[in-house]
Amino acid sequence: MFLAFLLAPLVLGVGCEDDSEAYTLHCDLGTPVLNPSTAAPGQAVAATARALTTVQDTVVRVGATEATVSEVQRPGCDDCDQCREKSACTSCDDCDACAADCAECVESVVFAVPMIADGSYGVTITNVHGQSPASTLLVERNAGDDTGDSGEDSGGDDSGD
């Protein structure tokens, strides 16, 4: 028992000190531009922003509900990424040296609208670089319906006989 009393501070103290520092960039990902801006639950929406990373690192929230992210797209960003690395610019920096290389870079994340009630919701994107301001998404059950029915009466017999 006495030995346990003497060893307890050693055992409890092991692993409590951490001299490493986590370095995380914090930047504004830009206000997402949603396409479409009105969608039904389950419908895919693309949100254009900046400083996007990977599907695994990206969280999209619609209101307080996390959406399922299916894709992060960065077409035209390879030259921009290489220039930023050569110029020692971070993903969050305004990098004047790379303006021409980054002009074609378009970053977007595709997510499914969660199964939530109809209404207006703030959409935010969060990743290792930071978080975006909220953009507004209008969730409507019939927003994704395109049955092709114009609602006009064809003049036929509707009696079912």
Q: What is the pLDDT along the chain (161 residues), one digit of tens a residue?
A: 544 444 444 444 444 444 444 445 578 899 999 999 999 999 999 999 999 999 999 999 999 999 999 999 999 999 999 999 999 998 887 899 999 999 999 999 999 999 999 999 999 999 999 999 999 999 999 876 654 444 444 444 544 44
Would 14 be classed as within a structural domain?
Answer: no
Q: Cβ-count burial of 157 within 10 angstroms (0-12 exposed, 13-18 middle, 19+ buried)?
A: exposed
Predicted pLDDT of residue 96: 93
- Three-class SS of 117-141: CCEEEEEEEEECCEECCCEEEEECC
Would 17 be classed as within a structural domain?
Answer: no
Would 36 be classed as within a structural domain?
Answer: yes
Would 19 be classed as within a structural domain?
Answer: no
Hey, which residues does 111 pair with through a beta bridge?
45, 69
Would 147 be classed as within a structural domain?
Answer: no
Would 134 be classed as within a structural domain?
Answer: yes
Is the Cβ–Cβ distance between 46 and 123 less than 8 Å?
no
Predicted pLDDT of residue 37: 97
CA terminus-to-terminus distance, the chain: 92
Would 63 be classed as within a structural domain?
Answer: yes
Taking the model in full, what pTM does it have? 0.72
Torsion sign over Cα 125, 129, 130, 135: negative
Residue range(s) defining the domain that contains residue 86: 26-139
Would 9 be classed as within a structural domain?
Answer: no
Predicted pLDDT of residue 15: 46
Predicted pLDDT of residue 25: 52
Domain count, the chain: 1
Residue 79 sits in a domain whose CATH number is: 2.60.40.10
